[in-house]
């Protein structure tokens, strides 16, 4: 894996080795990441990366959040409870010399604490087929992690319906991966 574009373009990221025990981790492929960020950079959803804070739920290796930092995001908060994922994430953050621009919360997504500052872009990559995505978004919304018009990028094995408080902007298929783009409904 590598950073596809931006200030850290071409930098390699640590990932799983062959026969690694953390088989539940499935990093977003370079091809899917490149397609996803072409959509985000294309302006369809406005300027959603430059200067934004990012929340990376079920972050795994951190590739999506690190790619966003490379392309102009100011901060990423990653959330993952897996020890192998945490180890790889920390290794990647150190290799990229991110300092305080990246933070790892070592907790279950459903135990997400209150936010210090809301995020305008959310990556959501829950374990496929385990119906955890909507509950994770509900928790993030309740804990103040999302700005009023945050964009959510939800990676899953199938196209997703919009949970309460969100509406679908787009949905795209990449092989056996579906990416659904959601927006937070305007709150009064």
In angstroms, the CA 146 to CA 50 distance is 16
What pLDDT does 23 receive? 47
What pLDDT does 125 receive? 94
Half-sphere exposure of 74 (CA within 13 A, CB side): 9
What pLDDT does 1 receive? 85
3 state SS of 68? helix
In angstroms, the CA 89 to CA 16 distance is 11
In angstroms, the CA 188 to CA 148 distance is 9
Residues 6 or more apart whose Cβ sits within 8 Å of residue 90: 104
3-state SS string for 132-166: CHHHHHHHHHHCCCEEEEEEEEEEECCCCCCCCCE
Domains, the chain, with CATH or none: 30-184 (3.40.50.150)
What pLDDT does 25 receive? 60
Phi/psi for 180 (5° steps) reads: -110, 130
What pLDDT does 30 receive? 73
Phi/psi for 82 (5° steps) reads: -80, 135
Q: Per-residue confidence of the chain (188 residues) as pLDDT tens digits? A: 889 999 999 999 988 655 555 545 666 777 888 899 999 998 889 889 999 999 999 999 999 999 999 999 999 999 999 999 999 999 999 999 999 999 999 999 999 999 999 999 999 999 988 889 999 999 999 999 999 989 999 999 998 999 999 999 999 999 888 999 999 986 54
């Amino acid at each position: 894996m590598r950073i596809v574009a931006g200030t850290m373009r071409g930098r390699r990221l640590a990932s799983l080795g062959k026969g690694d025990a953390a088989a539940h981790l499935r990093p977003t492929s370079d091809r899917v990441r490149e397609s996803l960020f072409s959509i985000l950079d294309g302006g369809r959803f406005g300027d959603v990366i430059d200067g934004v804070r990012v929340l990376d739920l079920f972050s795994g290796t951190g590739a999506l959040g690190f790619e966003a930092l490379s392309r102009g995001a100011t901060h990423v908060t990653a959330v993952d409870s897996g020890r192998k994922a945490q180890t790889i994430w920390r290794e990647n953050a150190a290799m990229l010399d991110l300092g305080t621009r990246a933070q790892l919360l070592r907790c279950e997504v459903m135990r997400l604490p209150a936010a210090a500052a809301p995020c305008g872009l959310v990556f959501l990559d829950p374990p496929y087929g385990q119906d955890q995505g909507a509950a994770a978004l509900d928790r993030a919304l309740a804990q103040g992690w999302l700005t009023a018009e945050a964009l959510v990028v939800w990676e899953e094995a199938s196209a997703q319906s919009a949970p309460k408080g969100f509406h679908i902007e787009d949905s795209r298929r990449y092989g056996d991966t579906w990416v659904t783009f959601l927006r937070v409904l305007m709150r009064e």
